[in-house]
Structure 1
């Protein structure tokens, strides 16, 4: 799906799922980089909230993250950043969202971990406008669990649930403040790059 099609889907329904967003070689390289960072102990337990309100709450989320520093990106991260920049331009042209920057981290869900229903945009991070999730796993089946469950507007008052499994190379893009979602319990290690297009500068 080209960048313009992503922007159109975001404008029309608030979300889209793109299989094969990156090449298989690029996926493997990013996965290896994630594994190297993990081996060097650079992942931390993810928390809830921002600044003084930040808390580790494993009853709500139990993943680990390693933030990328936009000022010292690795060559692979720079390549991914460029892809997101192209999406940012297309979305701004189509949706007039005023997106100005991007932040992202590697995320790793160990077996048994999850993240309860939430929105990515809340009181302390209103600047997060569009969420992007790129999955890096080698293989995945429905039996492995770990689906991203999105709660989409249905007819009338009824929500529709859509489960997206973390198949390697698959990209999910959605409006951060409008699509409630959760990560269902995973039975094996689940790896992604999760990021947010923002309406503020760095």
Structure 2
């Protein structure tokens, strides 16, 4: 884990993002996926909204995923184990990148077939405290034909944008600076499962 943490901190410092394959082992990934499936079957997921406070609305033309927020005070053993891994990331980013990260929030995210999330930034005026985005994919299998990639946009000096598409392979972790990398989830041809969260500079 120490080597992985070193790589995360180095690449966030140099490139503002990092992709780590096999961040969790298969047993842990499958257990998280099973828990997510059971929670879904119990009707615990809700359509994701956009905006904050009184402006919060479900707008399926912008995003059509479903989410279940995790309760920090009521985590399952599996969720607590994942949060501990994120805590290690928080500590190493604070030590080496001086980001002042103080807390984590996260949710299970399910993208049904055909769903998407249009281009956006995770940090904006209504949610200024999100500093680092952390996504762990839980899918059993994925191929390019399944589509549903995370598309990241990197502004270039000439005003253009470089694009990188990241497939949601099971066990893959994607970490990036929330205010710097616009991104979207392209329409998926297969159910797409992740834990998406944010390291924040507030408690």
Q: Secondary structure, in 3 states, of the residue corresponding to 2:74? A: coil
Q: TM-score, normalised by structure 2?
A: 0.97
Matches within 5 A, 1:29-44: 29-44=31-46
- Kindly indicate whether residue 81 of structure 2 is the aligned counterpart of residue 79 of structure 1: yes
Q: Secondary structure, in 3 states, of the residue corresponding to 1:117? A: strand
The offset of 1:9, in angstroms, is 0.5
Give the Cα–Cα distance (whole angstroms) in 1 for the partners of residues 158 and 24 of structure 2.
Answer: 37
Match of 1:61 in 2: 63
Q: Secondary structure, in 3 states, of the residue corresponding to 1:61? A: coil
Q: Secondary structure, in 3 states, of the residue corresponding to 1:124? A: coil
Q: TM-score, normalised by structure 1?
A: 0.98
Match of 1:175 in 2: 177
Which of residues 114, 118, 121 in structure 2 aligns to 1:119?
121
Give the Cα–Cα distance (whole angstroms) in 2 for the partners of residues 52 and 153 of structure 1.
Answer: 32
Deviations 1:142-187 (A, max 9, x none): 0001000000133532210000000000000000010000000000
Give the Cα–Cα distance (whole angstroms) in 2 for the partners of residues 155 and 139 of structure 1.
Answer: 37
Match of 2:98 in 1: 96
Q: Give ranges in structure 1 of 5+ residues lacking alignment.
A: none
Give the Cα–Cα distance (whole angstroms) in 1 for the partners of residues 10 and 53 of structure 2.
Answer: 34
Match of 1:152 in 2: 154
Give the Cα–Cα distance (whole angstroms) in 1 for the partners of residues 159 and 66 of structure 2.
Answer: 35
Equivalences, count = 201
RMSD between superposed Cα atoms in Å: 0.8
Q: Secondary structure, in 3 states, of the residue corresponding to 2:163? A: strand
Aligned residues of 1:4 and 1:91 also touching (Cα < 8 A): no
Structure 1's consecutive aligned runs of 4 or more residues displaced over 4 angstroms after TM superposition are none
